[in-house]
Structure 1
């Protein structure tokens, strides 16, 4: 796993890595996906499935990005949706294969 560092900026948020930059545009922060027949936020579960990112570092920056960019990604963020999405992401991250 790389030493990922997430930066919240005017664009949205990004992580600079050895092989490039991973960016999430502000208007895409609240995209949804379905896990176990429930709608949750897409980005936490996507990042959790990637072996190169630390989910806790991401979630901290993601919450900051949601606050900074409120109004740019559509509806007001439901705290319960965010909590359920973070829980699902942590579960996925704990089950993912570890490279190394």
Structure 2
């Protein structure tokens, strides 16, 4: 069985065309992105700043994560349209995103 076919091995439909579903969404311009910045608690009471609502390619999300990590001087991760940054850096992140032209705001309590 070939990898990456989603479990499809054979089809009896003569008009069947396999769609890999790996089409990435084009990244919206910064001014059209509506990002929200949350503060979450993870295991052990650790705080994490979460930026959600990013629409676009995974590579662009990773680039945004890298710039924010450099700004905050800490680690983080990014996947599924969200960036997680270790610690409470909401104010720094908000100022940076607004300066870069994103529509961003703090969310939650």
**Range of TM-score over shorter length:** 0.3 to 0.5
Larger Rg: 2
Higher helix proportion, which one?
1
Q: TM-score, normalised by structure 1?
A: 0.33
Q: TM-score, normalised by structure 2?
A: 0.31
